[in-house]
């Protein structure tokens, strides 16, 4: 039997090496990462059987790692355990609501650590085995046989808020924004979709009309999954249903945090975060500038502010050397400074 592979993401070298030694002595194959960005990349490359991840880390914290992995169909079901030096209820509640399977408080007892790891691996294997059937695939890539591929031009509507929810969608190529309209007709961007992600399914699960609109930010290709087949598959395959439930819970939590951000952050901070969210969503690498063709209207919708305010903030960021603006294109020149600068 091959060894179970465990990924340890921890910025403290002593703790990281101690964890690796304990796990290796217990027969596990261990891979390590010293920060969240490296850890998220390794998780998607190595597909470990379980992940142990610190919460407070530079560059990308543990919450960010879990958010990224929970939106990837290849990693969203990997058991995820938080390592935290804080036993405060708020930290634990936030981690578990994001989709973590458990948490371990540092300093940890070796026996408790190994017992928790073993129990989570056993539970995952039991759920995976018990959910299997002759017709169950558990693989989203092969789950839907009647999907139709459609193409949309830039700024073309995929569906509008209030339309009947006839299909769930998977983005294959391009970029898509999801929007809501305020009572006065102002558009707010509630999510950005990148290739490989699903959207529109939550309205089907609630058997309601689409509560948001979807529009292509650029020429895009999508898989359209008929409502009847989508419901049939998730009702007959518990593994597939679990994946969509976990994606849904993470989407809802992300929206809750966004509401708090809009309520308490300054306009400057919201516009900066909007640019960071675009980079986090669509940037292929972690180094170098990021350029994207994004309208001022879309940027304002993400930031929850007026177009005039977003233009004014872009001008300030340009003067500070944080961004470059060229007609429809915006280039983030200094990601870390834009993200971490005081506002």
- Give the CATH number, domain containing residue 82: 3.40.50.2300
| Per-residue H/E/C for 168-195 | EEEEEECCEEEEEECCCCCEEEEEEECC
Based on the fold, state whether residues 79 and 14 are members of the same structural domain: yes
Based on the fold, state whether residues 146 and 251 are members of the same structural domain: yes
In a domain, 135, yes or no: no
Residue 286 has a pLDDT of: 52
Q: Which residue do the tokens 């809501």 mark?
A: 180
Residue 249 has a pLDDT of: 66
Give the end of a domain, one of 130, 155, 188: 130
In a domain, 148, yes or no: yes
- Give the CATH number, domain containing residue 290: 1.10.10.10
Tens digits of per-residue pLDDT, 240-279? 887 787 777 666 656 656 666 666 788 998 899 889 888 8
Tens digits of per-residue pLDDT, 201-225? 989 988 899 999 999 999 999 999 9
With cut-offs at 50, 70 and 90, classify the pLDDT of residue 5.
very high
Residue 137 has a pLDDT of: 43
Residue 187 has a pLDDT of: 83
Q: What is the mean pLDDT of residues 110-138?
A: 68
Based on the fold, state whether residues 213 and 233 are members of the same structural domain: yes
Distance of CA 191 to the CA centre of its chain: 10
User: Which residue range is the domain that position 291 belongs to?
Assistant: 265-340
Nearest to 334 by CA among 292, 293, 291, 288: 288
Nearest to 159 by CA among 134, 176, 139: 176
CA distance 123 to 221: 38
Is-contact 43 51, C-beta < 8 A? yes
Tens digits of per-residue pLDDT, 20-50? 999 999 999 999 999 999 999 999 999 999 9
With cut-offs at 50, 70 and 90, classify the pLDDT of residue 162.
very high
Residue 103 has a pLDDT of: 86
What CA dihedral angle connects 97, 99, 102 and 103, to 10 degrees?
Answer: -70
CA distance 191 to 339: 19
Write out the two tokens for 11. 């910025």
Q: How many CB atoms lie within 10 A of CB 272?
A: 25
Residue 131 has a pLDDT of: 45
Residue 68 has a pLDDT of: 86
Looking at the 3D structure of the chain, how many domains does it have? Answer: 3
CA distance 226 to 146: 7
Residue 87 has a pLDDT of: 56
Based on the fold, state whether residues 169 and 284 are members of the same structural domain: no
Tens digits of per-residue pLDDT, 289-323? 888 888 888 888 888 888 999 999 999 999 999 99
Give the end of a domain, one of 130, 165, 188: 130
In a domain, 29, yes or no: yes
Query: Which parts of 123-273 are beta strand (E)?
Result: 148-152, 157-159, 167-173, 176-181, 187-193, 198-199, 213-216, 220-226
With cut-offs at 50, 70 and 90, classify the pLDDT of residue 132.
very low
**Which uninterrupted H or E stretch holds 267?**
helix 267-282
């Amino acid at each position: 039997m091959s060894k179970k592979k465990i990924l340890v993401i921890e910025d403290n070298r002593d703790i990281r090496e101690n964890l690796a030694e304990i796990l290796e002595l217990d027969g596990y194959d261990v891979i390590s990462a010293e920060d969240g960005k490296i850890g998220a990349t390794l998780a998607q490359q190595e597909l470990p059987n379980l992940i142990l991840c610190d919460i407070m880390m530079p560059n990308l914290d543990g919450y960010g790692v879990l958010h990224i992995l929970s939106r990837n169909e290849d990693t969203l079901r990997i058991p995820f355990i938080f390592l935290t030096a804080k036993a405060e209820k708020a930290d634990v509640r936030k981690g578990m609501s994001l989709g973590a399977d458990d948490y371990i408080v540092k300093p940890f007892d070796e026996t408790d650590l190994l017992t928790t790891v073993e129990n989570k691996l056993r539970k995952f294997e039991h759920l995976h085995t018990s959910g299997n059937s002759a017709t169950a695939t558990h693989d989203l890539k092969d789950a839907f046989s009647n999907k139709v591929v459609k193409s949309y031009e830039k700024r073309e509507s995929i569906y509008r808020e209030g339309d009947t929810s006839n299909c769930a969608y998977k983005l294959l190529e391009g970029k898509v924004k999801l929007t809501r309209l305020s009572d006065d007709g102002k558009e707010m961007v509630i999510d950005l979709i990148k290739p490989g992600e699903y959207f529109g399914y939550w309205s089907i699960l609630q058997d309601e009309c689409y509560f948001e609109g979807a529009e292509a930010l650029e020429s895009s290709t999508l898989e359209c999954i008929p409502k009847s087949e989508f419901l049939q598959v998730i009702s007959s395959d518990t593994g597939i249903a679990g994946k969509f439930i976990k994606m849904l819970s993470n989407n809802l939590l992300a929206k809750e945090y966004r509401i708090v951000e809009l309520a308490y952050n300054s306009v400057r901070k919201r516009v900066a975060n909007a640019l960071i969210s675009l980079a986090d969503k669509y940037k292929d690498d972690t180094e170098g500038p990021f350029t994207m063709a994004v309208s001022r209207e879309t940027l304002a919708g993400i930031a929850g502010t007026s177009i005039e305010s977003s233009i004014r903030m872009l001008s300030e960021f340009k003067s500070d050397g944080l961004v470059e603006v060229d007609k429809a294109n915006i280039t983030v020149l200094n990601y870390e400074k834009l993200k971490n600068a005081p506002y």
